[in-house]
Amino acid sequence: MHVKRLPMILTIITPIAILMWLRPASAFQSNLGNAPGTIVKKGIAVDVRAIGRQIADEMEHENPPEVGEFGPLPSANVVQQIPADGNNVQVNDPGLDNTQIFPHFRPFVEFTQSETSVAASGGNIVVAYNTSANQPLVEVSPGVLAFTRRFLSGFSVSDDGSQTWLSGFIPPLHGSIVTSGDPSLDVDRFGNLYFANLGADALGRSTIQFNKSMDGGHTWSNGVLIQQDNGGDKDWLAVGPDPRAPNQDVVYVAWASFQSTGSIELRLGRSTDGGATWATKTVFAPTSNPHPELPQDALQYVNPFVDPITGKLYIPFLHFSNADQDFIRILVSDDAGETFRFIRFNIAGAPDPTLLPVTQPGELTDCRSGGLRLTIQDPSSIQPGRMGLRSFMNATRLTLQPAFAAFNGVLYLAWSNSTSLIFGDPNSNSNILFMRSADGGNTWSAPVQVNATVSTDTHHVLPALSVDPGGKTVHIAYYTQHSNGTIDVDLANSLDGVAFPENRLLRLTGSPMMLPPTNVILTASTSTNYDRTIQPCYALGEYLSVRSANGTVHAAWGDTHNTVTEPVNVLDPLSGQTHPQEDVFYRRVNAQ
């Protein structure tokens, strides 16, 4: 495979004109209590912010660091990593990864690419992802560092069937030096590609923003503001026909908006002119409830989808309670986002017919500076934890974003569900569950398990779902974790949109991969990712991607088969070690 570098199609302002002060990772603290971006589960404040939201929150409160950073905690057990090899196609340019070293600071090993979104336009394949590779630092005065830009939104494009790839970075808003990731791609009927992500404007204020490509993903427009939202998080984009004017496409971007009160709203941006201008509004602002088992005033992980035949807009999301079970809900609009109603699941015993009770997957662990998080982890990397929770050096955080698609009124829904009814249960496993409605959500099939039952598999998480044109063949990609902590990527396939036979299951990864050290203890209360520009417990990202188009299934995921060797540095807890690092890998599969 030959990987080439694509020049950035943007103009950078003078680097010193705007600087973002850097704090050492030892100073990164998670918000607790009722702070925006946390929810309370059984009396414990759990962080539900995406990586871009966390970085934006930190930039807002950063101060210049002092010389002489914390070294490793003397009692911490540093585990030597074992490298592994993979056999899929890497899409991100490895030459963009870099290590920056400054006196009196731990090295900046910027080797993280994950959290993918894939789309196909004509003969081109485009993969967008979070990346840490474009965050140059300067020493503005002795012992004081600052970023001259932070471009966390990257992409790669192939026009020869994935043999070669060009890599670049999504342009920011005019005058800005920040994109914050959470990429979401879609394509319209004419082959135009649309991209949504988090970012900041020229004043450093958090934004939901948009870019467009009219040449198959090779070049992208400058960023277009959808909404300036200091609490915006987890954006997702969808495009499809306007049900009122089927010859016209509408572009939608939905996201969660953290409020200063601690509540989280669902917001929607809509464009009828190909993304040139946007109208925005709050679609759903949930309220609190005195009963902890009932839905509260917080939601997250929206995933809008437009039925390509009917033009109906669906927005599934996770609605939190303060107890063990949370709820998947789906809003649907018949009039291009003007009005919405809830789809009914009619689950026996559920507190409301519009609620699908679920238990989020993973163990609630102490990620220290990364917050209290649901994670999967390498069990051999256990280290001291706080608040009665376990902590692991090699961990990756989880979400429960409903995977969803629709075709001509047939609805498809998949999610990762814990095998325990207890939130964050350390003894739990998880499976991918799937439901289908053949009548637009009036009735639903019983949930079926998508993944195979294997005694040595523990978790199946972060599913992505795609339906072939025609609406029958369904593909669901997800991560499978084994009992030894290693991870593979699997693709389940259904020919009838109902059952997922084991003989149709395809393992996409050529060999299991290990998690990198993302939660390395620095002090009793702080930790760092080996890539210190990224939050602790962030490795594989919070989603992968699968897309069916023209008889081909395109899958892209965060992959840790490649390794990096840390510089020898007395301040680095991982000094001189070789361990896994994150890249984006891709595989194409015949849809049949």
The answer to whether the beta carbons of residues 155 and 127 sit under 8 Å apart is yes
pLDDT the model gives residue 20: 44
d(CA 543, CA 358) in angstroms, rounded, equals 18
Contacts of 542 (CB under 8 A, 6+ apart): 50, 51, 115, 397, 398, 399, 401, 462
d(CA 258, CA 261) in angstroms, rounded, equals 8
One digit per residue, the tens of pLDDT, for the chain of length 592 reads: 444 444 333 222 233 333 444 433 333 333 344 678 999 999 999 999 998 899 888 876 654 444 444 444 433 333 333 222 235 899 999 999 999 999 999 999 999 999 999 999 988 999 999 999 999 999 999 889 999 999 999 999 999 999 999 999 999 999 999 999 999 999 999 999 999 999 999 999 999 999 999 999 999 999 999 999 999 999 999 999 999 999 999 999 999 999 999 999 999 999 999 999 999 999 999 999 999 999 999 999 999 999 999 999 999 999 999 999 999 999 999 999 999 999 999 999 999 999 999 999 999 999 999 999 999 999 999 999 999 999 999 999 999 999 999 999 999 999 999 999 999 999 999 999 999 999 999 999 999 999 999 999 999 999 999 999 888 899 999 999 999 999 999 999 999 999 999 999 999 999 999 999 999 999 999 999 999 999 999 999 999 999 998 789 999 999 999 999 999 999 999 999 999 999 999 999 987 6
In the structure encoding, which two tokens stand for residue 319, read together?
């609605």
Q: Of 411, 489, 414, nearest to 116 (Cα)?
A: 489
Q: Of 119, 184, 194, nearest to 157 (Cα)?
A: 119
- DSSP secondary-structure letter at 112? B
d(CA 470, CA 479) in angstroms, rounded, equals 27
* Buried/exposed 136-156: b ≥16 CB within 10 Å, e otherwise: bbeeeeeebbbbbbbbbbbbb
Determine how many CB atoms are found less than 10 A away from the CB of residue 89. 18
Cα–Cα–Cα angle for 489, 492, 496, rounded to 5 degrees: 165
Q: Of 559, 459, 455, nearest to 512 (Cα)?
A: 559
Task: Quickly list DSSP for 309-378.
Answer: TT--EEEEEEE--SSS-EEEEEEEESSTTSS-EEPP---TT-SSTT-EEE---SEEEE-GGG-EEEEEE-
Q: Of 182, 154, 172, nearest to 53 (Cα)?
A: 182
Q: What letter represents residue 68's amino acid?
A: G
Determine how many CB atoms are found less than 10 A away from the CB of residue 310. 17
Q: Of 406, 425, 403, 427, nearest to 416 (Cα)?
A: 403
Residue ranges of alpha helices (H) inside 484-579 are none
d(CA 489, CA 558) in angstroms, rounded, equals 9
Length of the chain, in residues: 592
Determine how many CB atoms are found less than 10 A away from the CB of residue 439. 10
